[in-house]
Amino acid sequence: MSTTRRRRWALVALVAVAAGACLALSWWQWTRYESTSGTFQNLGYAMQWPFFAAFCVIAYRKFIRLEEAPPQPDEDAAPREIPADLLPERPKAAADDDDDPVLREYNAYLAELAHHDGELADDDRQDRTTA
């Protein structure tokens, strides 16, 4: 006997408890609807809970059917190649433009700062841990 058949009683108990709980909640919502403070929202819930109970039972039956006879894989389910024109074209990086004088000036300023920072790092008097 397979392990799934040995454990099937637990699934039946789970489905029975879940469906029973859904039906109990439906009854509770119905009594709330019939009370003096009941609204149509309670009536809607009272009508909704039996569908949840039916879903529990139907899902269990579907599970059992799939367990006993799993679906056969399709022959045509092999991976296919994506057409080249399906996806948008990737953006290209902008070309380096060394003709920009502002960029050249900014890069020179950064190089000067780096050089100056290197001179200060060699200086023993500078303490970088304080503000």
* 20 CB-near residues (< 8 Å, 6+ apart): 53
Residue 38 lies in a domain: yes
Which tens digit of pLDDT belongs to each residue from 49-73? 999 999 999 999 999 998 888 888 7
Domain count, the chain: 1
Residue 46 lies in a domain: yes
On whether the CB atoms of residues 27 and 61 are closer than 8 A, the answer is no
Residue 84 lies in a domain: no
* More confidently predicted of 122 and 106: 106
Which tens digit of pLDDT belongs to each residue from 8-27? 888 999 999 999 999 999 99
